[in-house]
């Protein structure tokens, strides 16, 4: 009996993220420039006096701007600063990481929103811009989202944004002297066409009032 194998592919190596600015209707993302972005981001992220935004991050919170700057210089992490057009400030960060160009796999992570960016259209659009760039400009086949399995907020966000839950890797990591079971989610290129249409409908100006309050929720799955 002949063994079953995956379909043959002629896949060209995906591109590395570059210096391109990702521009949307309500937000834009710029590759991190320490001199331009760090202080403003530090001030906005520090508005979370409870430090809840850092609970499931491998590092932070940071008391000193100098330590935050070092954080933004992690190797092999492509950080972006998120700018909210409504708030007129850089108030969030996100990144590409764990990049495997030869097989077309890339992960989104290190996502941290200041309190006033959370649950806004700019926050949602920033994630759309990241995934659109992955599939349409950089040529990846698979876009991953991973988080601590105890991070219920992150898991709900992944599903809301269109990622498919794939399972839990038990005892996958240790951070801040704690065990981490890692929940895995993904979007693949075959999903993208349908997901993009859902985002475009959601992000249409007619879906928001003058204060950018949504009329209809983002519904993908």
pLDDT digits (tens, 9 = 90+) for 13-40: 999 999 999 999 999 999 999 999 999 9
With respect to residue 12, please indicate whether it lies within any of the assigned structural domains: no
Question: Residue 1: what pLDDT?
Answer: 82
* DSSP assignments along 125-174, one per residue: HHHHHHHHIIIIII--SEEEEEEETT-HHHHHHHHHTTPEEEEEEEEEEE
Q: Distance between CA atoms of 60 and 62, rounded to whole angstroms?
A: 5
Asked if residue 148 belongs to a domain, the reply is: yes
- 79 with 95: CB under 8 angstroms? yes
Cβ(49)–Cβ(63) below 8 Å = no
50 lies in some domain: yes
Tell me if 11 is assigned to some domain. Answer: no
Residue 217 lies in a domain: no
Q: What is the CATH number of the domain that holds 157?
A: 3.40.630.30
Give dist(CA 157, CA 147) in Å, integer: 11
In a domain, 212, yes or no: no
Which residue's entry shows tokens 């000193």?
Answer: 64
In angstroms, rounded to a whole number, what is the distance separating the alpha carbons of residues 28 and 137?
16
Predicted TM-score (pTM) of the model is 0.96
In which element (H, E) is residue 20 found?
none
Give the pLDDT score at 166: 98
Is 16 domain-assigned? no
Q: Strand 78-84's sheet: what is its strand order?
A: 22-23, 27-31, 78-84, 89-100, 105-113, 142-148, 178-188, 164-175
Structural domains in the chain (count): 1
pLDDT, tens digit (0-9, with 9 covering 90-100), for 159-213: 999 999 999 999 999 999 999 999 999 999 999 999 999 999 999 999 999 999 9
Q: Is residue 15 part of a domain?
A: no
Identify the domain containing residue 142 by its residue range: 22-207
**What are 143's two structure tokens?**
């876009």
């Amino acid at each position: 009996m002949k063994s079953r194998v995956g379909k043959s592919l002629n896949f060209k190596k995906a591109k590395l993220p570059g210096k391109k600015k990702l521009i949307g209707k309500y937000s834009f993302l710029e590759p991190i420039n320490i001199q331009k972005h760090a202080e403003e981001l530090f001030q906005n992220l520090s508005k979370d006096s409870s430090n809840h935004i850092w609970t499931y991050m491998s590092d932070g919170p940071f008391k000193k701007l100098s330590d935050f700057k070092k954080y933004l210089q992690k190797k092999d992490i492509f950080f972006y600063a998120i700018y909210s057009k409504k708030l007129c400030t850089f108030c969030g960060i996100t990144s590409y990481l764990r990049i495997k160009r030869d097989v077309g796999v890339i992960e989104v992570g290190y996502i941290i929103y200041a309190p006033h960016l959370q649950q806004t259209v700019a926050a949602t659009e920033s994630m759309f811009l990241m995934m659109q760039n992955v599939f349409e400009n950089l040529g990846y086949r698979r876009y991953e989202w991973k988080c601590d399995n105890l991070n219920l907020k992150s898991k709900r966000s992944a599903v809301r944004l269109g990622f498919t839950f794939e399972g839990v890797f038990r005892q996958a990591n240790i951070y801040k002297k704690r065990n981490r079971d890692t929940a895995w989610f993904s979007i693949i290129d075959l999903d993208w066409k349908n997901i993009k249409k859902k985002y475009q409908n959601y992000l249409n100006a007619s879906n928001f009032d003058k204060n950018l309050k949504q009329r209809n929720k983002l519904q993908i799955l």
